[in-house]
Amino acid sequence: MDATVNRPRPRPLHPVNAFLVSATATLFLGALLSNLAYAMSYQVQWTNFASWFIASGLVFGGVVLLFALVGLRHADRRARGYLLYCGLLLATWLLGFINALLHAKDVWAVMPEGLILSVIVLLLAGAAAWIGLSNPRAGNLS
């Protein structure tokens, strides 16, 4: 007699969500690298690049945050990391928005606060991507 046990496997992260989460972290990495390049060279164009990276990261992050908030309604009660995932995405978006407002100021007024905020936003985006991609239930939307 064979006994089979049906264990439900967690579904993997939806590919669109995985792309958007990783793109958000990558764009905020570009903003940090642009801020570092400006800090080393004082070429104004680097802060323009950082502003565009931050704006793009906010667009992608906003879509991911929207998906996460919709998925919060359907979240599995056993998925502990999902609330943390949503909180990290929200904190990333809010601090990224503050960073965008800071980069809208005069180029000489951006440093060092812009660099510090870029580091914090990148760490938050990386943590959200890590949790979303490593815990299949955390970012599950399908």
Please check whether residue 25 is in contact with residue 124, taking contact to mean a CB–CB distance below 8 angstroms. no
Q: Are 50 and 38 in contact (CB under 8 A)?
A: yes
Per-residue model confidence (pLDDT) at position 72: 81
pLDDT category of residue 95 using cuts at 50, 70 and 90: very high
Q: Is residue 126 helix, strand or coil?
A: helix
| Chain mean position to CA 49 | 18
Which stretches within the chain are classed as H helix? 15-41, 45-73, 81-103, 113-134
pLDDT at 31: 97
54: nearest Cα among 106, 131, 121: 121
pLDDT of residue 142 exceeding 50, the answer is no
Q: Looking at the predicted structure, is the pLDDT value of residue 128 above 80?
A: yes
| Half-sphere CA count of 68, side-chain side, radius 13 A | 27
Whether 88 has a pLDDT exceeding 70, the answer reads yes
Residue 96 has pLDDT above 70, yes or no: yes
Q: Which two tokens stand for residue 95?
A: 């601090």
